[in-house]
Amino acid sequence: MAGKLQDKVVVLGGGAKNLGALLATTFANDGAKVVVHYHSDSSADDADKTVKAVQEAGSRAVAVQGDLTRVADVRRLFDTAVDTFGGADIAVNTTGMVLRKPILETTEEEYDRMFGVNAKAAYFFIQEAGRRLNDNGKIISLGTSLLAAFTDGYSTYAGGKAPLEHFTRAAAKEFADRGISVNTVAPGPMDTPFFYPQETPERVEFHKSQAMGNQLTRIEDIAPIIEFLATDGWWFTGQTMFPNGGYTTR
């Protein structure tokens, strides 16, 4: 039986591991071909494993390395989709970088790096997707539920992700004539290696205590929401969603 996304092509920014890897196999199970982007050399093995997992699911994938704070690398990612699979239909950007640090201690370099990964890379990913996706495409960016929180310490993380909401709104209006929907998914604190280094055990417990069932968000809670936005949920556009078990809302 043909999958929901049979013969569609997905470009996955940060597709090698954690949420990105689960999205790669989720889309592959729907019949889509996947461009698996990875960043660090240390993520190359994960990218290979993810490509193999897509192939085992009966679809095709290609891995591409790149620093998405460089616009040329963002363009090369979409070039790969066109050159390898003949086009692109869905673009999901999971790239992000977290820092928990008081404003008074944050350096200029940290600010530039945080806004480079969380805001600039996201902006040019949306721009290139708007240029290159086929009509009726979907663009989904990963935000954070901290966008709906009132808290200390995450000025350059939540602050760096905050512009996504406006990039998303503008792109949704500007790409609407081609039927392209654009959204941001902003999960609660997610149980991946991304989450733990900047938290203490006490803060992990606090984050858990703010959601239903005293638990963190799991990547398995988020992947179906992104899959939905890329398929039957196409009528959502210009929005930020907060799948987080009640951790924050607005």
Ligand X SMILES: NC(=O)c1ccc[n+]([C@@H]2O[C@H](COP(=O)([O-])OP(=O)(O)OC[C@H]3O[C@@H](n4cnc5c(N)ncnc54)[C@H](OP(=O)(O)O)[C@@H]3O)[C@@H](O)[C@H]2O)c1
Choose between 10 and 97: whose C-beta lies nearer to ligand X: 97
Choose between 96 and 245: whose C-beta lies nearer to ligand X: 96
Half-sphere exposure of 92 (CA within 13 A, CB side): 30
Interface region with ligand X, contact rule CB under 6 A, candidates 55-63, 64-72, 78-86, 172-180: 64-72
240's CB contacts (< 8 A; 6+ apart) are: 143, 147, 164, 165, 168, 183, 184, 185, 186
CA dist 5 → 10, 28, 29, 80 (Å): 9, 8, 9, 19
Residue ranges in 166-185 that form contacts with ligand X under rule CB under 6 A: none
Q: Cβ of 191: how many Cβ atoms within 10 Å? A: 18
Minimum Å gap between C-beta 175 and ligand X is: 21
Chosen residue from 91, 92, 96, 180 binding ligand X by CB under 6 A:
96
Chosen residue from 26, 50, 80, 95 binding ligand X by CB under 6 A:
95
94 binds ligand X (CB under 6 A): yes
117 binds ligand X (CB under 6 A): yes
Exposure class string for 82-116: b at 16+ Cβ within 10 A, else e:
eeebeebbbbbbbbbbbbbbeeeeeeeeebebbbb
Rg (Cα) of the chain, in Å, rounded? 17
74 binds ligand X (CB under 6 A): no
Minimum Å gap between C-beta 68 and ligand X is: 4
Minimum Å gap between C-beta 210 and ligand X is: 13
33 binds ligand X (CB under 6 A): no
Residue, CB closest to ligand X: 96
137 binds ligand X (CB under 6 A): no
d(CA 70, CA 119): 12
Is residue 92 classed as helix, strand or coil in its secondary structure?
Answer: strand
67's CB contacts (< 8 A; 6+ apart) are: 39, 73
43 binds ligand X (CB under 6 A): yes
Chosen residue from 39, 120, 132, 138 binding ligand X by CB under 6 A:
39
Contact 35, 15 (CB under 8 A): yes
d(CA 172, CA 150): 27
Interface region with ligand X, contact rule CB under 6 A, candidates 66-74, 81-89, 165-173, 234-242: 66-74
Contact 55, 61 (CB under 8 A): yes
Residue type, 139: I
Chosen residue from 97, 139, 158, 211 binding ligand X by CB under 6 A:
97
Interface region with ligand X, contact rule CB under 6 A, candidates 33-41, 81-89, 103-111, 233-241: 33-41
Site residues for ligand X per CB under 6 A: 14, 16-20, 38-40, 43, 67-69, 94-97, 117, 121, 142, 144, 187, 189-190, 192, 194-195
